[in-house]
Amino acid sequence: MAVKYIFVTGGVASSLGKGIIAASLAKLLQARGLRVTIQKFDPYINIDPGTLNPYEHGECYVTEDGAETDLDLGHYERFLGVHTSKANNVTTGKVYNTVITKEREGAYLGKTVQIVPHITDEIKRRMLLLGKTGDYDVIITEVGGTVGDMESQPFVEAIRQLQWELPEEDLMCIHLTLVPYLAAAKELKTKPTQHSVQALQQAGVHPDIIVCRTEKDLSPEIRRKMALFCNVKPGHVIQSIDAWSIYQVPFNMEAEHLDDMVCEQLDLHVPEPDLSGLRTFLDKLRNPHHSVDIALVGKYVELQDAYKSIQEAFVHAGVANDCRVKVHTVHSEYLDESNVAEKLSGMDGILVAPGFGERGLEGKVVAIRHARENGIPFFGICLGMQMAVVEVARDLLGWNDAASAEVNPVTPHPVIDLMEDQKSTTVKGGTMRLGAYDCKLEPGSLAAEIYGRELISERHRHRYEFNGKFLSDFESVGLKASGRNPQTGLVEIVEMPSHPFFIGVQFHPEYKSTPENPQPIFCAFVAAALKRKENA
């Protein structure tokens, strides 16, 4: 069977949830027995989002093979339960980088290098790349940005060209738009959709299906009207109504027959989807018997996408514990000794988030001390683990000058230090310790009990590490290294056996959590929080 390509574009506004629609469609096709992957094409010039502040585009997601990617790849992995890779996230920066490098090598000798055909050829090559691996039946490509933006034009042009290059039954386009409800007029408005489809058609791309984000049901008349004005088949305008959970969206799309239309158009003869696994998850998510309050202490709390994978991992771990996890984001910049008890009051667990740089760092230390001294379950991720080490050094070892070399390179107690191989690194992009590494767990430790095995693998994104020089000092005050990289000995996990639940991990366990495979540390942390609450 030829590989099928589905392109998902967006119009009217950003943040409509194109990634969720793409992932939901992928889930439905996967549930019909097809091998599906999703890729994201982002219009910005950065080579990857690794150098972006989370305020720009939310969390930076990390794949097994160490790509720093758009957070939508996290949704793809959570919905599909399959790994993505470097090839699944392409930016304009990557495309230009390849073309310009080839130009310098002399690959276009004599030719003027232009957007069409050279840039669009490179975009098309990357759009088709995963289809050539033989691993997939369907490739869904989400084009970032909004149709009509200057930046996304070359991507749209590449799709236009592919419409002629691929057999008709192997390619289709889905356009996601917004149908706003004007409360004053008590009316849903279709004009923005008409204009955005017009912009797409002017660029030569014809959408086959229009998915409308809406807060009110679209009547049959309004759907017919849009189909007429937007030049698509009647019935090919469907709604994506605001859902109570993102994991409900595949069911909503199934009810709108999105997958039926796609299979018909792409000539795919496959059974009806079996979504029973996700259904069971969703039923449990809707009616939990318990609840806990967890503080998520970080410095990007104003932005709901900044800690996306952590938030999602809590949804999964909650279901695993029959428990609603209410995550309260707490701004570490405004946390100090005088207000910590008040700001963290009522919390059954405290998670200290990953991050970079100095801002909000001391607030994290204060939150960790509060958790440690009051026996509140604590979970530190990456920078959160590093600050736990700093906190213990200052309070239990009495080293008031203890710090991470990231913020204090001259301290006599650099308990967190730059990794050896980072010392020669001068450029920022893509140079951290990235992606999956093995970690060997200490038998009998909390970590070993949580994972139920000795060798694990988790994903990383950091430059600094626990300074092994001070390990025996830490052990003497009860902070143990319970997980290490088997090759380098790098300390990956610290824990405090005298505390009900105190664990810090150098890696990012949140990236691998899915509804069907909730992450073990998140599950154990929620269980510990629940235990504390119920014993209170």
What DSSP assignment string belongs to 17-71? -HHHHHHHHHHHHHTTT--EEEEEEE-SSSSSGGGS-HHHHSPPEE-TT--EE-T
Amino acid in the structure at residue 416: I
Active-site choice (60, 230, 323, 382): 382
Residues 89-118 that bind ligand GLN (CB under 6 A): none
Reported in sequence order, the residue ranges of 428-508 that DSSP labels E, i.e. its strands, are 433-441, 455-462, 464-466, 480-484, 491-495, 502-505
Q: Is 510 a catalytic residue?
A: yes
Sheet holding 36-42, edge to edge: 89-91, 36-42, 138-143, 4-10, 171-178, 209-214, 237-241
Burial 3-17 (b: 16+ CB within 10 A, else e): bbbbbbbbbbeeebb
Q: Which token pair is 92? A: 């304009």
Which residue lies nearer to ligand GLN by CB, 327 or 389? 389
Smallest gap from Cβ 211 to ligand GLN, in A, equals: 35
Which residue lies nearer to ligand GLN by CB, 279 or 359? 359
Q: Could you tell me which stretch among 207-215, 231-239, 316-324, 455-463 binds ligand GLN (CB under 6 A)?
A: 455-463
* 308 lies in the binding site for ligand GLN (CB under 6 A): no
Smallest gap from Cβ 77 to ligand GLN, in A, equals: 18
Residues 374-403 that bind ligand GLN (CB under 6 A): 382-383, 386
Q: Is 290 a catalytic residue?
A: no
Smallest gap from Cβ 353 to ligand GLN, in A, equals: 8
Distance CA 233, CA 298 (A): 48
- Hey, is 5 helix, strand or coil? strand
Which residue lies nearer to ligand GLN by CB, 369 or 462? 462
Q: Is 269 a catalytic residue?
A: no
Number of residues counted as binding ligand GLN (CB under 6 A): 11
* From candidates 356, 451, 474, 507, binder to ligand GLN by CB under 6 A: 356
Distance CA 138, CA 133 (A): 12
Distance CA 123, CA 474 (A): 52
Which residue lies nearer to ligand GLN by CB, 178 or 387? 387
Contact 285, 319 (CB under 8 A): yes
x/- map, 464-483, ligand GLN, by CB under 6 A: x-------------------
* 361 lies in the binding site for ligand GLN (CB under 6 A): no
Smallest gap from Cβ 406 to ligand GLN, in A, equals: 5
Q: How many residues does the chain have?
A: 536
* 463 lies in the binding site for ligand GLN (CB under 6 A): yes
Q: Which residues bind ligand GLN (CB under 6 A)?
A: 354-356, 382-383, 386, 406, 461-464
The catalytic site residues sit at 382, 508, 510
